[in-house]
Amino acid sequence: MYPVNSGYQFSLATDGPYQLRSTMSSLTTGMGDPTADMTDANRIRIALRSPGGYAVLTAEHIEDTLHGELQGDDVDWFVPHLPGLLGLNHTPPDLGGPRALQSAALRYQGMRLPLAPLLFPRIVQVMLQQLISFRDAAKGWRTLLRKHGQVLPEHDGLIVPPSARQLLKLPQHEYIACNILPQHGRRIAGVARHAARIENTWSAGSEPDSLNDTCRLLGKLPGIGPWTIGYLSGSSMGDADAVVTGDYSLPSQVAWFFRRETEADDATMLDILKPFQPHRYYALLLVIKAGNGPPRRGPRTRPISQHFRR
């Protein structure tokens, strides 16, 4: 059994509407993500990697306060990052807009944008979603965790993501055994070589230039382009105005949501989202959460089995 300290208990005011599960789900990949237990909308547990180990965050939202505890072998590292991790540094905007957007905003009132204290695990999650279906990406992530993550029996089997060092040393055939595409495995290993520099630059989002400097650094690494940076910076780096370009379905989903147009490109999507600056990612997230897309005319992405046959 892994060593566990006595824990750190906390109570933090939410200062306005707050949705715990909607906020923290941005740091996971799909339902059944073995790093987290989010079956209750107002109480979550999530296992988090740190530079020196791990911590399990348990949090419960009661009225206008978050009560919780950190347990693990590197609790102290997480303590100063708790407000950002829980999305308390972000204030949900009043976007206005059409009735459909207002309806989504009302339904998800209190959804915040969290800051991932350690960025590398989230980078892996996002890179796994490149060019394949979300279902296949989530399956690959779950398998990678179960084969190579740190299982915590004392926390009902929650799994801490593997470290950058582990994934750097992981042979390519092990990635393939996790149903992860060979190019994804190579890209993840490549980014793992720069993990220390990424985390030093990110500094858990604590510095004024952390976001921009980290995005510039990521943009120089093979396998990370505008789509990955946009999705990453919005979902886990607190950038409420991030834009996600290069996605197969998002432009049409946005155009359908706002204009009932079935097809669109990035330029059209950005034009539609322009009135919502500096909250374009938050508006996009509401569109995604609302789940209203145009009628399908074909598969959004090829099954991962077809990628392996290439």
Count Cβ neighbours within 10 Å for each residue of 147-162 and write b for 16 or more, e otherwise. ebbbebeebeebbbbb
For residues 227 and 132, is the Cβ–Cβ distance under 8 A? no
Q: Which residue has the tokens 């306060």?
A: 65
Rounded Cα distance between 194 and 188, Å, is 10
Instruction: Tell me the sheet residues that pair with 67.
Output: 11, 60
Count Cβ atoms within 10 A of the Cβ of residue 220 and give its class: 0-12 exposed, 13-18 middle, 19 or more buried.
exposed
Return the pLDDT at 304. Answer: 46
Radius of gyration of the chain (CA): 19
120-127 vs 226-236: helix axis angle to the nearest 10? 130
The CATH fold of domain 120-225 = Endonuclease III; domain 1 (1.10.340)
What is residue 307's predicted lDDT score, i.e. its pLDDT?
A: 42
Mean pLDDT by 10 residues, the chain (310 residues): 66 97 96 96 97 97 97 96 97 93 95 98 97 94 98 97 97 96 97 98 93 97 96 97 95 96 96 97 96 68 44
pTM value is: 0.92
Q: What is the pLDDT of residue 173?
A: 96
Pick the CATH number of 8-96 from 3.30.310, 3.30.70, 1.10.3210, 3.30.870: 3.30.310
Q: Other CB atoms closer than 10 Å to residue 48's CB: what's the count?
A: 26
DSSP class of residue 296 equals P
Tokens describing residue 233: 């910076």
Q: What is the pLDDT of residue 170?
A: 97
Domains in the chain: boundaries: 8-96, 120-225, 250-290
